[in-house]
Amino acid sequence: MLLASAIASQVAPAPREQTATSDQRPTILRRNPDRYDDTFRKYSKRYFGVGFDWRLFKAQGMAESNLDSAASSWVGARGIMQLMPATFHEISSKNPEMSRIDDPEWNIAAGVYYDRILWRLWAADSIEDHRKEFMLASYNAGRGTILNAQTMARLDSLDHRSWPAIEAVAPKVRRWRYNETLGYVRRIDSLHAKLLKRR
């Protein structure tokens, strides 16, 4: 199955130790608020279609690294979209043009491509209105973790396809740093809302 091992094991927890300090990162965005917009537009259109809002992926990049192409985490995730090298390698094996994880364009392209894989995987296992949350949470914690949360939701007689059910059972899921993941999803929502206001 395409990227099966990477999807199950992708760990890109937020917040991360970045190469830029937290004092430096907000300044980077203030200097150039349109940074990488064309790249996010291009790959959102390519992998999700014309009607999908590319700003969601920019918000994700902001949450992941504050758009710092040199960012790296303590677990080894790298670049704007904080991809694990093994995940990037598997993606680039299907997309040879994505040659370097540290190239901002290819890092963004691979991150959006990975989102598309997760988006498709959640098509049948989530309510359409909550599919975005399942995709983002899987990107952060790994799809297997969110599947475990769904199992817990079923045991509690909750709608396992609903994101509020996953939030409700999160503390019961073993070995999940759920505060990170839930905070990550909320942060992307908040950043996305801010980007929409700048239209």
- Among 17, 64, 105, 128, the active-site one is 64
Cα–Cα dist 185/36, whole Å = 21
Question: Between the CA atoms of 165, 169, 174 and 175, what dihedral angle is there, to the nearest 10 degrees?
Answer: 70
Query: Which residue bears the tokens 């969110």?
Result: 146
Neighbours of 116 (CB within 10 A): 18
Q: 128 an active-site residue? A: no
Cα–Cα dist 46/28, whole Å = 27
Radius of gyration of the chain from its Cα atoms, rounded to whole angstroms: 16
Cα–Cα dist 6/85, whole Å = 10
Catalytic residues: 64
